Amino acid sequence: NAGVTQTPKFQVLKTGQSMTLQCAQDMNHNSMYWYRQDPGMGLRLIYYSASEGTTDKGEVPNGYNVSRLNKREFSLRLESAAPSQTSVYFCASSDRGLFNSPLHFGNGTRLTVT
Amino acid sequence: RKEVEQDPGPFNVPEGATVAFNCTYSNSASQSFFWYRQDCRKEPKLLMSVYSSGNEDGRFTAQLNRASQYISLLIRDSKLSDSATYLCVVNVHGGSSNTGKLIFGQGTTLQVKP
């Protein structure tokens, strides 16, 4: 049982490049989330998906897009990376309703944009 | 003012000490409260939920004070392995079953020394 799997673990991009962060969970959870974590800021919600086929903006959605491909997978895309998007990105899922804990997090993706 | 505030620390304590962290929240509509633990460069993991009557899990005790809008985490008999960042998380429910948000504090860092 892998839980929540994120890829890649590390990525360096140049300004303007695009990339997709992949996330998959094998716990049959309905709700999935993308957060970013920056020093002194706490985790901030980028996008979330209450269930397969639905996505909604979180607190800091600008510069990102998401796809809930199926119940298992929720990807995050940066169309044109900017240095302000340098951060640690966490995907999470939950099975007790939207925004109910516990959230199960993936290992994180460390992204640097130069 | 941040919606959820924590003293970032670090709290440096010797093994065996008792240490307490507080977390204040600003939204009186907050309904659920949690403590997460995050080890260095790892993902957050749920430590415990915080119930109105207070709750204990081994050496850890969580308490909620709705009147003063804060939650606390007490760790007794600190171990080296308790060294981590402790995140306060508050769930603010929306008006319907599919709305609301989880607000993460920036975390309090604990270093337990031999």
- A61-79 per-position pLDDT tens digit: 999 999 998 999 999 999 9
Residues 57-96 of A with CB under 8 A from B: 58-59, 90
The residue type at B82: D
Structure tokens at A58: 């979180």
A97 vs B: CB within 8 A: yes
Q: What proportion of chain B, given as a percentage, has pLDDT over 90?
A: 76
Q: Which residue from A89, A57, A91, A55 is spatially nearest to A70, judged by alpha carbons? A: A55
Do A34 and A89 form a contact (C-beta atoms < 8 A)? yes
How sure is the predictor about B98, in pLDDT bands with cuts at 50, 70 and 90?
A: low
Q: Find the closest chain B residue to A56 by CA distance.
A: B99
Q: Which residue ranges in chain A fall short of pLDDT 70?
A: 1
Structure tokens at A29: 């959870």
Structure tokens at A14: 């140049």
Q: Is B107 close to A42, i.e. CB distance below 8 A? A: yes
Tens digits of per-residue pLDDT, B40-60? 989 999 999 998 888 999 999
Position B33 pLDDT exceeds 80: yes
Q: What is the 3-state secondary structure of chain B?
A: CCCEEECCCCEEEECCCCEEEEEEECCCCEEEEEEEEECCCCCEEEEEEECCCCEEECCEEEEEECCCCEEEEEECCCCHHHCEEEEEEEEEECCCCCCEEEEECCCEEEEEEC
Q: Which of B42, B93, B106 sits opposite A42 (nearest CB)?
A: B106
The residue-averaged pLDDT of B65-93 equals: 94
What pLDDT score does B51 carry?
Answer: 87
Residue A15, number of CB atoms within 10 A of its CB: 11
